[in-house]
Structure 1
Amino acid sequence: MIGNFCGNKYTFCLVYLLCVGFVCEKPQAKSFTIEQHNIDLGVRPRLAYIDGSQDAKSASMLFRIRANSEWTEAFSSTIEIDYVVLGLQDEFSNGVNFNNNPVIPDVEGIDVNQLYFTYSINNVSNVVIGREVINLGNERFVGSNSFWQNEQSFDTAGIDYEFASASSFVYRYVSNANRITGDQAGVNLRPSDANFEQNNGRRPASFLGDHTHNTHLFFTEIREFDHAVLQAYFFDMDIEEMRLLSNQTLGLRYQYRSRFQSYKASLDAEYAVQRRQELGDNRRFNYYKLGLGIGFKTRDLFLRYEVLGENNDASFVTPLASLHDQNGWADKFLVTPAKGLRDLSVQTIWRISPFKLDIRYHVFTSELGDEDFGKELDIDLSLKFSHNNTLLLRFADFNSDNVRYNSDKRVFLQYSYHL
């Protein structure tokens, strides 16, 4: 939608930032009716390593500049430009370059991550158009995949509406998904690419940087209860480059949170039904998730059971999800197996400022036939120096005797400022 608008080496975006800088420097300029401008800078260096049947390692750095502008009481805009640099590029594969090493999906280059305009109506409704990051609910179905250096964003138009005392409704029409594989991951492979001949010079659709959409997203969140939140959603996803992942999904999620003195309790229950229209036989797929949690002071314990169902050699899909955040940090199940997926997991969190320790253990099996896919241990250790400064060590250890999945260990070390 706005790709052409911001083309030609991001000329428009550069002019926008220069205008904002000029106005911020000269707030009395009478030619502008501007109430407020905020410019934020962020940075995130990262080292990554995969130890498995094949090794991979990468070094990357994300630089981000973001400007929020209020042009009038009703009209505002946001622009966010990312620049990513890479090291050790021959030691890993990504969506742009394939070299037979394991994939670490961080890509190099400059990208307009967000550029959208908002018009507010009576302080309860917003009309939004442009390129934006969208995170709906727990990001199981729609999210930005923000762990990676290049976020997923969407070219959209839609509305935000607030109702009752604390509830909201979101609608977006999506014309394009700007994926984590980046703008350089076009249709044609480079002749020097190791996969050029095997793929007849064409990049696999799953690695393309852009997917053309005719997608409608409806999401409602009701917060009218003391301890509970109810979310309802309908997603009609039509993906041109990957027709088989197009789907219509209707779901409901219930969250309960309570606290009594130093004790905490939580319940999460979610159910969704999906039709994958391109399969042609009107098959239905079920999704459900149940989570229970208890906590005391700085410690929390959670038990979760998630099922992505199958039906006749096909399965429930979530192509726009924040996939790294689901089903283990080793990223073994970015695509749901044809036999479906069951994920039984236990998580414990321990906080003692400025440290946070998050440990998770997953047992993965198929829904059909209860086939053992593998087990995974995930550990996060974070050190939060201040509100804007965080150091993170992430470790994932996936083990499997299944011939479909390779065992490996993954380590990420990163520092983030204002991200």
Structure 2
Amino acid sequence: MTDLRLASAVLLAAVAAPSLALAQSPPGDIILDMRLRSESVSQDGLPEDAQALTLRTRFGYETPAWRGFKVLAEGENVTALVDDYNSTTNGKVRYPVVADPEDTELNRAQISWTGARADAVVGRQRLILGNARFVGNVGFRQNEQTFDAVKTSFRPTKELAVTYAYVDRVHRVFGDDSPQGEWDSDSHLVQADLKTAAGQLTGYGYLMAFENAPAQSNATWGVRLTGARPVRPGLSVTYEAEYARQTEHRNNPADFELDYVALSAGLKAAAPWASVGYERLEGNGSRGFATPLATLHAFQGWADVFLTTPPAGVRDLNLRAGTTLKLGPKALPVRLQAAVHDFTEDDGSDRYGRELDLLAAAPVTKALTAEVKAAFFDGDRPGFADRSKIWLTLEFKY
């Protein structure tokens, strides 16, 4: 309890700091982002429950634009105030994993340029393509994933945008102390987004090669369509469909061809929404369809059981729903969300387990947000242990 009070005091002090310390700030944008989070994990088969209380702080500065150019630099620190957990680098293997190791690093250092129909970013940067299913920043973890990369986007028409990125190095969430904390990369990522009458059509080719993680090198080509159609005022039908094919690439010693399919349909009103989804990552008995640069926490349940696709693949049938309610005398918008998942092998023949996810989040002030989140996985077979995770979060953004 003492640690929690201390951490809360630190965060609340930071909330007040900008009006004082940054009152004479230079032109441009000051970046201050602090996230205090408690994560509790109970997992069958491990002798201890994990309790992590971590404070993530990002501080940086972006210059004003000059002829379209900006320069940004941002540092990041993750401090464990309670460290009864396996961070993947601290050797505490009797606890479940909470992948938030203590670390201090340069998070971003980039030069960007923006023109009328094109833009470019060079340097260490945050990179999110599409819905982050294949390339993302893993923003849920305290130490986000960033990339030493060159990214360019070109918009020849209002309907079409083409993006290309070359990735030289991946700075992963495990930090500098982990042997898997950085991947040397020679990856080429191409994506085209076209607005059509049926919705947004996206085509992509992700050619990923990693010198020190050859088993993760792959070539993935795919197409995705997302859209919505009004059925009456205030109510729309939503839909998504995606297909991708993945093969070995460059230094990967394996030989495989694997498919990815995602489908969903739903209803969306002014605040409430609901959808039913199907996602299948194929396995060939030796390996499963891989998404090594994805924001994995956002897919296949928040319990993170399927960060690596099983050799027999995985099929996720899910139902999601959410809404925003105005509560209290100040009518604070409280965001509510729930999801249920049923996981099987990709052919549906054998069940891995089921999961329930719950979330409630609300702003405390314009800059401070509170969130409560939980995930409960009920496994049906060895290797997929029952586990529960609960997160309590305060996040401040200046």
Tell me the alpha carbon deviations over residues 106-152 of structure 1, each in whole angstroms, 9 at most, x when there is no partner. Answer: 121222111111234x5222232100011111111000010111000
Q: Find the counterpart in structure 1 of residue 355 from structure 2.
A: 376
State the alpha-carbon separation in 2 of the partners of residues 174 and 416 from structure 1.
30
State the alpha-carbon separation in 2 of the partners of residues 280 and 146 from structure 1.
31
Where structure 1 has 5 or more consecutive residues not aligned to the other structure, the ranges are 1-20, 27-35, 188-207
> Aligned with 1:347: secondary structure?
strand
Give how far 1:282 is off.
4.4
**2:248 maps to 1:276:** yes
**2:41 maps to 1:62:** no
**Which has the higher mean CA deviation after the structures are superposed, 154-163 or 134-143?**
154-163
Does the Cα contact within 8 Å between 2:32 and 2:60 map onto a contact in 1?
Answer: yes
Q: Find the counterpart in structure 1 of residue 395 from structure 2.
A: 416
Does the Cα contact within 8 Å between 1:375 and 1:400 map onto a contact in 2?
Answer: yes
Give how far 1:240 is off.
1.6
Does the Cα contact within 8 Å between 1:363 and 1:374 map onto a contact in 2?
Answer: yes
What's the Cα RMSD here? 2.0
* Structure 2 CA distance for partners of 1:375 and 1:312, relative to 1, 3 Å: closer
Q: How does 1:15-164 map to 2 (within 5 A)?
A: 36-53=27-44, 54=46, 55-70=49-64, 72-89=66-83, 91-100=84-93, 101-120=95-114, 122-164=115-157
**2:382 maps to 1:403:** yes
> Aligned with 1:88: secondary structure?
strand
Q: Find the counterpart in structure 1 of residue 330 from structure 2.
A: none
Give how far 1:258 is off.
3.0
Tell me the alpha carbon deviations over residues 260-314 of structure 1, each in whole angstroms, 9 at most, x when there is no partner. Answer: 3121210000000010235656421100100001133432110000000122422
* Structure 2 CA distance for partners of 1:299 and 1:127, relative to 1, 3 Å: closer
**2:382 maps to 1:389:** no
State the alpha-carbon separation in 2 of the partners of residues 154 and 376 from structure 1.
32
Where structure 2 has 5 or more consecutive residues not aligned to the other structure, the ranges are 1-20, 327-332
State the alpha-carbon separation in 2 of the partners of residues 282 and 182 from structure 1.
31
Does the Cα contact within 8 Å between 2:215 and 2:253 map onto a contact in 1?
Answer: no
**Which has the higher mean CA deviation after the structures are superposed, 273-282 or 128-137?**
273-282
Q: Determine which of 177, 193, 209 is the counterpart of 1:238.
A: 209
> Aligned with 2:63: secondary structure?
strand
State the alpha-carbon separation in 2 of the partners of residues 229 and 369 from structure 1.
30
State the alpha-carbon separation in 1 of the partners of residues 57 and 281 from structure 2.
36
Matched residues, number: 365
What TM-score does the superposition give when structure 1 sets the normalisation length?
A: 0.83
Does the Cα contact within 8 Å between 1:167 and 1:224 map onto a contact in 2?
Answer: no
1:45 alignment partner AA: L
> Aligned with 1:60: secondary structure?
strand
State the alpha-carbon separation in 2 of the partners of residues 320 and 234 from structure 1.
14
Does the Cα contact within 8 Å between 1:134 and 1:153 map onto a contact in 2?
Answer: yes
2:75 alignment partner AA: I
Q: Determine which of 189, 205, 214 is the counterpart of 2:186.
A: 214
Q: Find the counterpart in structure 2 of residue 173 from structure 1.
A: 166
State the alpha-carbon separation in 2 of the partners of residues 105 and 282 from structure 1.
31
> Aligned with 2:42: secondary structure?
strand
Does the Cα contact within 8 Å between 2:273 and 2:323 map onto a contact in 1?
Answer: yes
1:356 alignment partner AA: R
Q: Find the counterpart in structure 1 of residue 8 from structure 2.
A: none
Identity across matched positions, percent: 27
> Aligned with 2:28: secondary structure?
strand
Does the Cα contact within 8 Å between 1:95 and 1:209 map onto a contact in 2?
Answer: no
Q: Determine which of 261, 266, 283 is the counterpart of 1:293.
A: 266
Give how far 1:385 is off.
3.3
Q: Find the counterpart in structure 1 of residue 13 from structure 2.
A: none
